Amino acid sequence: MKLFQCNNCNNIVFFENNFCRKCGCKLGFLEKEMALISLDSKLTEWVLPNQNNSVYRYCENYKHGVCNWLVEANGSKLCKACSLNTIIPNLQTNQNKEKWKKLEVAKHRLIFQLLQLKLPIQSKIVDKESGLSFNFLSKQEATGENKNLMTGHANGVITILLSEADSVLLEKMKKDLDEKYRTLIGHFRHEVGHYYWERLIRDNNQVLEQYRTYFGDERVSYADALDKHYKQGPVQNWQNSFISEYASSHSWEDWAETWAHYLHLMDTLETAYYFGLTVDTRIDNENPIQMEALFDPYQNNNFDKIVDSCIPLYSAINSMNRSMGIADVYPFVISEPVIEKMKFIHQTLKKWAC
């Protein structure tokens, strides 16, 4: 994630901030500039000279404390991120409100990243056929057909169960499924990967052929593959060619898992770039753990440089976490075939963005 600056007092401010702690002005995220804008705290509508003197206000969801994005006063009431919601939690309980906030923090970060990658983001309400939407559902409160829903993706609809925003239940699921990593942002990145597979890969024969050379044949029965995965476990030596055990279950899951990791790497390296991080161990060695975050990964075509920076970076951050008795930030080993798969994703996105 980028770092932002209050344009009233130059203080460094963060993506989720809705006011500047130093000068007290309000802050709103302006998608057109991909920046936080400082706003007079006494007003509720603002004329922005850089935007042809258009009048802006906060997205409707600001009042729920889940969004700090700006919208044009004479346009849609919801921002790009919030307009993708079709079902939001029942807000009668404070617990649900808290969970929704966690979901929106992760989702807004996802949408910001998709915007940086210049991916198409169209609400399903506008484009029924190929749009994207989010359902945030509580299994306890669900009725009818929603009762059986799980966290997942189907035809542009991403469902995230509210229980994923409950830290105790999340931890329990992680333990029950023997996963190394389970987070809301991870869910969003994985599920949206399925959506963009349909947008970028499925309908383009040439790209689909290339895809199969990296991720195998997606025409293998998905239901049978998952059934086999859950009954017999991951394929042998999955570490050699997949980023996770689950990725070895089926080509689509390999794509979604690898895609999620690609997004993890890009975001981590962008954060490192904005903080000016450098890693250089005090031990001389022929295989030094070294990196210097000198470039914005979204502006970089060379994926080798990205991965070569991320591996030492994760090594350092994992060690920092161990110093504090916290689980590794990135408990994965990226093998050579996984790098090749991520490179394919990077190149596909670069071509798409042209």
> Does 279 participate in binding Zn ion (rule CB under 5 A)?
no
> Does 67 participate in binding Zn ion (rule CB under 5 A)?
yes
> Residue 58, Cα to own-chain centre: how many angstroms?
23
Instruction: Tell me the one-letter amino acid at 40.
Output: D
Q: With CB under 5 A, what is the number of residues at the site for Zn ion?
A: 15
Restricted to residues 128-167, the positions that interact with Zn ion (CB under 5 A) are none
> Does 55 participate in binding Zn ion (rule CB under 5 A)?
no
> Does 30 participate in binding Zn ion (rule CB under 5 A)?
no
Of 14-22, 46-54, 123-131, 212-220, the window that binds Zn ion (rule: CB under 5 A) is 14-22
> Does 294 participate in binding Zn ion (rule CB under 5 A)?
no
Compute the least distance from the CB of residue 213 to Zn ion, in Å.
21
| Tokens of residue 89, six digits | 């939690």
Q: Give CA–CA dist 69/132, Å, rounded.
A: 19
Of 67-75, 285-293, 311-319, 342-350, the window that binds Zn ion (rule: CB under 5 A) is 67-75
Compute the least distance from the CB of residue 123 to Zn ion, in Å.
12
Q: Give CA–CA dist 47/51, Å, rounded.
A: 8
Cβ count near 15 (within 10 Å): 16
> Does 39 participate in binding Zn ion (rule CB under 5 A)?
no
C-alpha atoms less than 13 angstroms from C-alpha of 173 in its C-beta half-sphere? 17
Compute the least distance from the CB of residue 311 to Zn ion, in Å.
25
> Does 175 participate in binding Zn ion (rule CB under 5 A)?
no
Please identify which residue in 69, 100, 112, 344 interacts with Zn ion, judged by CB under 5 A. 69
Q: Select 6 or 293, whichever has its Cβ closest to Zn ion.
A: 6
Compute the least distance from the CB of residue 133 to Zn ion, in Å.
14
Helices (H) and strands (E) in the chain, counts: 8, 13
Helix 251-275 crosses helix 303-323 at what angle (to 10 degrees)?
80
Backbone angles phi, psi at 247, to 5 degrees: -60, -25
Compute the least distance from the CB of residue 57 to Zn ion, in Å.
11
Q: Select 71 or 117, whichever has its Cβ closest to Zn ion.
A: 71
> Does 77 participate in binding Zn ion (rule CB under 5 A)?
no
Compute the least distance from the CB of residue 290 to Zn ion, in Å.
35
Q: Select 82 or 291, whichever has its Cβ closest to Zn ion.
A: 82
Restricted to residues 225-264, the positions that interact with Zn ion (CB under 5 A) are 253, 256
Please identify which residue in 2, 4, 8, 133 interacts with Zn ion, judged by CB under 5 A. 8
Q: Give CA–CA dist 339/262, Å, rounded.
A: 9
Q: 238 near 338, Cβ under 8 Å?
A: no
Q: How do the residues of the chain divide into helix, strand and coil, expressed in percent and rounded to 5?
A: 50, 15, 35
Q: Give CA–CA dist 58/8, Å, rounded.
A: 18
Q: Select 191 or 267, whichever has its Cβ closest to Zn ion.
A: 191
Angle CA(266)–CA(312)–CA(113) in degrees, nearest 5? Answer: 10
Q: Select 27 or 279, whichever has its Cβ closest to Zn ion.
A: 27
> Does 113 participate in binding Zn ion (rule CB under 5 A)?
no
Of 80-88, 125-133, 161-169, 318-326, the window that binds Zn ion (rule: CB under 5 A) is 80-88
> Does 23 participate in binding Zn ion (rule CB under 5 A)?
yes
Q: What is the DSSP letter of 96?
A: H
Compute the least distance from the CB of residue 157 to Zn ion, in Å.
13
Compute the least distance from the CB of residue 269 to Zn ion, in Å.
24
Q: Give CA–CA dist 103/352, Å, rounded.
A: 28
Please identify which residue in 2, 4, 6, 186 interacts with Zn ion, judged by CB under 5 A. 6
**Nearest CA-CA partner of 331 in 322, 320, 318, 342:** 318
Handedness of CA 158, 193, 82, 65 (dihedral sign): positive
52's CB contacts (< 8 A; 6+ apart) are: none
The label of the residue with tokens 């209050």 reads 6
Which residues here bind Zn ion, judged by CB under 5 A?
A: 6, 8-9, 11, 20, 22-23, 59, 61, 67, 69, 79, 82, 253, 256
